[in-house]
Chain A
Amino acid sequence: MAFEDVSFELGYGEVFGFLGPNGAGKTTTVRTLGTLIAPTSGSATVAGVRLTPENGMEIRRRISIMPEAPGLYLRLSVLENLQCFADLYGVPDVRERIEQALRSVNLAERAHDLCGTLSKGLRQRVALARALLSDPEVLFLDEPTSGLDPLATRDVHELIAALGSGGVTIFLTTHRLEEAERLCDRVAILNTTLRTVGRPEDLRDRLFAKSLTVRTRAPLAEPGRIFGGLPAVESWSADGAAAYVVAVSDAGVAAPAVTRALVQAGADVLSIGESRHSLEDIYLELIDEDVEAGRRGR
């Protein structure tokens, strides 16, 4: 079983991140939704069409998938690759659409280059242009920056961001959390089963208590007296010699009160700010839970 108990919805024009470690079932999910693999059970609707063997062609007509490996014909030029796929999708105005797709990935001047002569990053861009040819309702991008150097990764990120802001619905699988955080409106975290789904900030709120991080020049003499009893402050703990994490129910109320209390106590405050949990923290928290549950199960 590659994945089970996975349930989510995508809105039109949304950039949806599908995160998970290697082997979590991300690619299998994409292949299943793309009608390449038949599900053993469950149901799905892709681009408004029910996922059934009879509807395979209709779904493939409405979507586009960019697999992890670009899968270009290396002996063919960029233009020849795109012409072939434009015909396979039955695209009208082939020349115009190809020019448009190439322009959107900044490859118009490389149209006649053989794909075999292009760098990995450029091949990825050609694959993205190929995926855009059919003007898909849903664009599946499977690990689009896998194996790319930071420069090429940045280029692909910019392209995806531009597509997202242009209203294309994007289903992005990745295990690069900064990629998902940067590009996605909502994310789902998969580890064979769906662990969570939501906007990154909602997931943060759901998984982590809100807190303030306070740094002072010297350790506070009586931190309990300073932080205790302040409005919206729930608890506090030391985080090193002169740093404190203050759990709060409302950072907007607690932060001014904490600041005033520190100043009144004569503390030299270096910084005070809301603790920010990254998507990586959320991801690691959930995956660690799975690892722990697995250990207990054994």
Chain B
Amino acid sequence: MSRRRIGAIFRKELREYRRNRSLVVGMAIIPLVFLAQPLVSVFALPASASAQLAHRHELLYLLAIPALAPGLMAAYSVVGERQQGTLEPVLTTPIRREELLLGKALAVFLPSLAVSYAVYALFLACTALFASPGVAPALIRVPDIVAQVIFTPLIAGWSIWLAIGISTRASEVRVAQQLSMLASLPSVAVTSLIAFDVIPASLRLAAALGVVLLILDRVGWRLTSAMFDRERLIVGTK
């Protein structure tokens, strides 16, 4: 594995994403949608509701952001290059497919992480400043914040590998993005069910989910690399 080659892909992807307005807008909309809903419901809570919040983990609902937002960009990464005709020149260089995919994944992972943490911070700040008295201390709990910090990269990683895997097999960017969104829904469902206390949150559950996600992230990279078929991507059939 060459850090230089991974770095080259990473920097190139970041520059491309930064200058691709439609991707940036798409990437911005999802966090805003997922920020608006919980903020509205938190602002609507009266001070007397703080007791009922003991079993709710509103903050975890925001884990939908790392589940959905990176998928849009990651789904574009391979099929988008293929459609632009830029994939073939890259594949003629001495880059390994694992390096190419890792560079691409990192270029989605880091901005997704930054956006997710920024939205959490905004949510916490707004709740602390504008929610009714007593609501903020009831909602903002250290275990939730720790879970948020730990699970954000794990969930984002899984979504990214899913989307890149789909992107290596899809024939169009839009199809890849739609399928990636669909594939990310189970992660959203699980975090939402925990957030609304349908699945009770516990340390054991958190540890189990963390291990599962770690394994999925590792397997995702290997599996996606195995699915990456130079010949099929160049010729278009096989």
Contacts and interface: CB of A to CB of B under 8 A. Distances in A.
Contact of B92 (A65, A74, A76): A65
A67 B92 CA distance: 9
A250 to B, nearest CB: 48
Contact of B93 (A75, A88, A127): A88
Interface string A7-44: 00000000000000000000000010010111000000
Contacts of B218: none
B202 interface: no
B11 to A, nearest CB: 7
A64 interface: yes
Nearest to A58: B94
B222 interface: no
Interface string B89-117: 11111111000000000000000000000
A73 interface: yes
Contacts of A130: 89
Given A38-B231, A64-B92, A75 B4 contact: no
B12 A67 contact: no
B84 A71 contact: yes
A257 B230 CA distance: 64
B86 A73 contact: yes
A69 B11 CA distance: 23
B5 A36 contact: no
B94 A87 contact: no
17 contacts: A31-B234, A36-B231, A36-B234, A60-B92, A64-B92, A67-B92, A70-B89, A71-B84, A71-B89, A72-B86, A73-B12, A73-B86, A74-B84, A75-B16, A75-B19, A84-B8, A85-B89
Interface of B: 2, 4-5, 7-9, 11-12, 15-16, 19-20, 84-96, 230-231, 234-235
